[in-house]
Chains A and B, each alone.
Chain A
Amino acid sequence: AQTVTQSQPEMSVQEAETVTLSCTYDTSENNYYLFWYKQPPSRQMILVIRQEAYKQQNATENRFSVNFQKAAKSFSLKISDSQLGDTAMYFCAYYTGTASKLTFGTGTRLQVTL
Chain B
Amino acid sequence: ETGVTQSPTHLIKTRGQQVTLRCSSQSGHNTVSWYQQALGQGPQFIFQYYREEENGRGNFPPRFSGLQFPNYSSELNVNALELDDSALYLCASSSNGYNEQFFGPGTRLTVL
Give the docked Cα–Cα distance between A97 and B99 (Å).
7
Q: Which residues of A contact B56 (CB under 8 A)?
A: 99-101
Query: A68 at the A/B interface (Cβ < 8 Å)?
Result: no
- Contact count A vs B, C-beta below 8 Å: 56
Q: Which residues of B contact A106 (CB under 8 A)?
A: 40-42
Q: Which residues of A contact B44 (CB under 8 A)?
A: 104
Query: B81 at the A/B interface (Cβ < 8 Å)?
Result: no
Q: Which residues of B contact A56 (CB under 8 A)?
A: none
Per the 8 Å Cβ criterion, residues 59-114 of A in contact with B are 91, 93, 95, 97, 99-107
- Closest CB of chain A to B45's CB: distance in Å? 4
CB of A43 within 8 A of CB of B42, answer no
CB of A44 within 8 A of CB of B105, answer yes
CB of A103 within 8 A of CB of B45, answer yes
Give the docked Cα–Cα distance between A100 and B97 (Å).
9
CB of A47 within 8 A of CB of B48, answer no
Kindly list the 6 A-B residue pairs having the minimum CB-CB distance in the complex, ordered from nearest: A104-B42, A45-B103, A101-B45, A100-B56, A95-B99, A33-B99
26 contacts between A and B (CB under 8 A): A37-B103, A42-B105, A43-B88, A43-B106, A43-B108, A44-B103, A44-B104, A44-B106, A45-B103, A47-B100, A47-B102, A50-B99, A50-B100, A91-B42, A91-B43, A93-B42, A99-B56, A100-B33, A100-B48, A100-B56, A101-B33, A102-B35, A104-B35, A104-B42, A104-B44, A106-B40
